[in-house]
């Protein structure tokens, strides 16, 4: 039975690198995959999934209104797919997560989604919340805070390095914008030190 997988973490945990490794493993065995990445994140270029460690692969881009069940159905017209790999899964709309569940359930193609669980305010992304609710398999990819504890949160910094506590949920950025922290250090950075 094909499944819907959600691999989640904070920034800098290696989600894209793990996705690219999985894609390589499928392709090395002669299997066909479909790589998808969010239309609104073009930091690595138009239609590219890239890891900070320097590996990358071309990918199709998905928009927030796109029917991903239909997209995969059309891709299947060119032959079997062994897996659909989704980068930046936090940007999926809840309806798209359900479409991907149908890909696994009805089209019998495994879907592996990789993304952030929460935003800089500690709030779940709508796509991530839906994945956490309905995915068949959840896997946390761990990274560490500067203190050595497991990082589960992320803060956003402005141009001067100050912590941002409000604003739009989505702001595309990397190390210059976001820092992964454990919950204790996130609270200290976000709320200020406890009294």
Torsions phi, psi of 57, nearest 5? -155, 150
Residue ranges of the chain with pLDDT lower than 50? 194-195
Q: Which two tokens stand for residue 144?
A: 């560490």
Residues 168 and 170: their CA atoms lie apart, in Å, by: 5
How confident is the model over 69-79, as pLDDT tens digits?
Answer: 999 999 999 99
Domains in the chain (CATH in brackets) are: 4-142 (3.40.50.300)
User: Which one from 39, 88, 159, 176 is the annotated catalytic residue?
Assistant: 88
Does residue 31 contact residue 82 with C-beta atoms inside 8 Å? yes
How confident is the model over 157-170, as pLDDT tens digits?
Answer: 777 767 666 655 55
Q: What is the pLDDT of residue 175?
A: 54
Q: Which two tokens stand for residue 138?
A: 């959840």
88 is catalytic: yes
Alpha helical stretches, state H, the chain: 15-28, 68-76, 94-106, 126-134, 183-191
Q: What is the pLDDT of residue 110?
A: 98
* Rounded alpha-carbon distances, angstroms, from residue 32 to 39, 66, 184: 22, 22, 43
Q: What is the pLDDT of residue 168?
A: 54
Cβ neighbors of 2 (< 8 A, separation 6 or more) are 103, 104, 105, 107, 108, 109, 110, 111
Q: Which pTM was predicted?
A: 0.87
Place of tokens 């997988």: 5
């Amino acid at each position: 039975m094909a499944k819907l997988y959600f691999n989640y973490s904070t920034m800098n945990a290696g989600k894209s690198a793990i996705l690219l490794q999985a894609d390589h493993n499928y392709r090395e065995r002669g299997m066909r995959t479909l790589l998808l990445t969010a239309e609104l994140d073009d930091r690595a270029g138009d239609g590219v999934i890239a890891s900070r460690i320097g590996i990358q692969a071309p990918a199709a881009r998905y928009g927030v209104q796109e029917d991903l069940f239909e997209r995969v159905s059309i891709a299947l017209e060119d032959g079997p797919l062994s897996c659909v790999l989704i980068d930046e899964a936090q940007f999926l709309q809840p309806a798209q997560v359900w479409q991907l569940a149908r890909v696994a359930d009805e089209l019998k193609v495994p879907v592996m989604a990789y993304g952030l669980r929460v935003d800089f305010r500690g709030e779940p992304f709508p796509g991530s919340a839906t994945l956490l609710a309905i995915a068949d398999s959840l896997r946390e990819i761990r990274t560490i805070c500067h203190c050595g504890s497991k990082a589960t949160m992320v803060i956003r910094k402005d141009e001067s390095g100050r912590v941002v506590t409000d604003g739009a949920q989505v702001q595309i950025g990397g190390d210059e914008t976001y820092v992964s922290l454990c919950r204790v250090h996130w609270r200290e950075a976000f709320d200020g030190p406890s009294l």
